[in-house]
């Protein structure tokens, strides 16, 4: 073989090796990236080639799958009582990325989760039978919250304090996820929902922190008792009325000018929602101590998964003393979700211990075998001492029995609560937010529930907007449903 032929042969061999290396790279590296690309139509076709697994409430599926007519997508997602459960399920759409539980457990529900595969599935490459998501939601509590909120814009959350199970997650106005499932019609529904000024796609229960108003006074009271600033809820505080915010000429006024708020004990200050007491208490404690207590309850946690990622509730930093005073009444830049304020009441009701809130009980494979049990893995942490919790429980009962929260009374149930009416807009120019957070304990069965309700907007006259008037009746309906034997 002469030199020219030999060189040509070597060069040709190198080209062949290069082609083999490139083909291998494309198949095993680029191929994976292409297969996982969200714009790869084959992924959507594969996802909807078979019925999806289901999301389950109280033993019944609230989702399903239906045959499509024509096209390359064989099935589409369906929902039972879609508007009622939209804040729990989210949507699984042929056109848009899935949300909420549908998104978090997408692989489980479409059968691609590796935990679902049998040995035979692995050998044959067959997609495994899809699994199911079993929620902690109590349908009676969910329906009670949705019905009681009615046409109001708002949200509600209920938690079992002893187990951390989330019994209800409601956001209104809601939407029907079924309108987004079919690729042929989803675009029109998507535009309409996003153009709606009431933002029905927003999960107000988990993902819209707003000023919590006077419900935040529970956190400040907990900080004062734990710090030893006051030994119990019946010790008189050093709280002038009116109280002028430090460095300003602005008095911190009370909603009820005739309320006995001067030097009021924590019990009375919660009963009448005395701003002067908690504004000064926050200043006396200092923002660092208030923040430390807020963070123990869950504020400033941007990793709160239930398992849907909740937006962080915020206690601000770098405040002056006047701003710290305003933070003590749940104003300035303090924000909270209904989930967060339900967590506050849950910890107080549970003797000071907060069990991790979660709205999924189990995930199962196609045969019903449990892949993971979230109830068993829920942890708890001490937020305040049992003594402080008992003190706050007692004061919250006074709020409901003789204070600003009387609309939450339920015969045969021990109820403790706290109202809140948070200012909205510059100089409170817009309709305030109405809040109520509470716990209820059945006198007969001992069952417990903690709730939080926020009404962002309603048809009520501005003068009638209050935590007791708008939010407490919703909380009452939820507690009654949760504690019904």
pLDDT of residue 429: 56
pLDDT of residue 464: 61
* Residue 28: other Cβ atoms inside 10 A: 9
pLDDT of residue 106: 97
Q: Give the mean pLDDT of the chain.
A: 92
- Only one residue has tokens 């009444």, namely 329
Altogether, the residues listed in the chain come to a count of 485
Whether the per-residue pLDDT at 190 is higher than 50: the answer is: yes
Domain boundaries, the chain: 207-483
Which carries the bigger pLDDT value, residue 176 or residue 39? 176
Helix (H, G, I), strand (E, B) or coil at 259: coil
Measured CA to CA, the distance from residue 75 to residue 67 in angstroms comes to 5
Bond into 258 cis (ω within 30): no
Please check whether residue 224 is in contact with residue 353, taking contact to mean a CB–CB distance below 8 angstroms.
Answer: no
Of 93, 171, 214, 361, the active-site residue reads 214
Which carries the bigger pLDDT value, residue 277 or residue 378? 277
- Only one residue has tokens 């599926």, namely 61
> Minimal CA–CA distance to 413: which of 436, 431, 439?
439
Measured CA to CA, the distance from residue 232 to residue 467 in angstroms comes to 26
Question: 410-449 in b/e burial notation, b at 16+ Cβ within 10 A?
Answer: beebbbbbbbbbbbbeeeeeebbbbbbbbbbbbeeeeebb
For the stretch 404-446, pLDDT in tens is 999 999 999 999 999 999 876 555 557 789 999 999 999 999 9
Quick one: what percent of the chain has pLDDT higher than 90? 79
For the stretch 441-474, pLDDT in tens is 999 999 999 999 999 987 665 556 689 999 999 9
pLDDT of residue 378: 87
Q: What's the CATH class of domain 207-483?
A: alpha beta
Q: Annotated catalytic, 214?
A: yes
For the stretch 102-112, pLDDT in tens is 999 999 999 99
Whether the per-residue pLDDT at 119 is higher than 80: the answer is: no
pLDDT of residue 13: 79
Which carries the bigger pLDDT value, residue 291 or residue 6? 291
pLDDT of residue 485: 58
Measured CA to CA, the distance from residue 391 to residue 231 in angstroms comes to 10
């Amino acid at each position: 073989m002469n030199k020219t032929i030999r060189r040509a042969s070597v060069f040709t061999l190198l080209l062949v090796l290069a082609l083999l290396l490139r083909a291998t790279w494309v198949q095993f590296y680029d191929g994976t990236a292409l297969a996982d690309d969200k714009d790869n139509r084959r992924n959507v076709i594969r996802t909807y080639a078979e019925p999806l697994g289901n999301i389950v409430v109280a033993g019944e599926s609230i989702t399903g799958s239906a045959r499509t007519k024509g096209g390359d997508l064989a099935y589409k997602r369906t929902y039972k009582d879609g508007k009622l459960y939209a804040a729990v399920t989210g949507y699984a759409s042929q056109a848009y990325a899935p949300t909420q539980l549908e998104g978090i457990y997408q692989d489980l529900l479409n059968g691609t989760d590796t935990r679902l595969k049998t040995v035979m599935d692995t050998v044959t490459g067959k997609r495994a039978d899809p699994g199911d998501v079993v929620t902690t939601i109590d349908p009676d509590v969910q329906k009670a919250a949705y019905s009681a909120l009615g046409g109001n814009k708002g949200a509600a959350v209920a938690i079992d304090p002893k187990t951390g199970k989330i019994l209800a997650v409601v956001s209104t106005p809601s939407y029907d996820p079924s309108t987004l499932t079919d690729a042929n019609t989803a675009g029109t529904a998507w535009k309409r929902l996003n153009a709606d000024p009431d933002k029905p796609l927003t999960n107000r229960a988990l993902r819209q922190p707003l000023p919590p108003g006077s419900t935040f006074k529970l956190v400040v009271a907990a900080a004062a008792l734990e710090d030893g600033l006051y030994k119990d809820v019946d010790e008189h505080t050093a709280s002038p009325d009116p109280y002028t915010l430090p460095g300003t000429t602005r008095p911190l006024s009370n909603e009820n000018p005739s309320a006995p708020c001067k030097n009021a004990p924590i019990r009375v200050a919660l009963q009448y929602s005395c701003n002067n007491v908690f504004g000064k208490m926050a200043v006396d404690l200092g923002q660092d101590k208030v923040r430390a207590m807020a963070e123990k309850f869950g504020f400033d946690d941007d990793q709160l998964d239930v398992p849907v990622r909740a937006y962080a509730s915020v206690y601000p930093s770098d405040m002056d003393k006047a701003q710290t005073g305003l933070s003590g009444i749940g104003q300035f830049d303090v924000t909270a979700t209904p989930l967060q304020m339900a967590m506050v009441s849950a910890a107080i009701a549970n003797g000071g211990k907060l069990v991790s809130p979660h709205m999924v009980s189990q995930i199962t494979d196609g045969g019903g075998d449990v892949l993971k049990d979230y109830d068993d893995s829920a942890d708890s942490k001490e937020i305040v001492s049992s003594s402080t919790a008992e003190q706050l429980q007692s004061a919250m009962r006074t709020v409901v029995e003789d204070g600003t929260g009387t609309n939450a009374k339920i015969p045969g149930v021990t109820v403790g609560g706290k109202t809140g009416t948070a200012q909205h807009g510059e100089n409170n120019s817009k309709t305030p937010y109405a809040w109520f957070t509470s716990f209820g304990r059945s006198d007969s069965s001992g069952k417990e529930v903690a709730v939080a309700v926020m009404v962002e907007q309603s048809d009520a006259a501005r003068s009638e907007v209050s935590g007791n008037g708008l939010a407490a009746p919703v909380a009452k309906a939820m507690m009654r449903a949760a504690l019904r034997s």
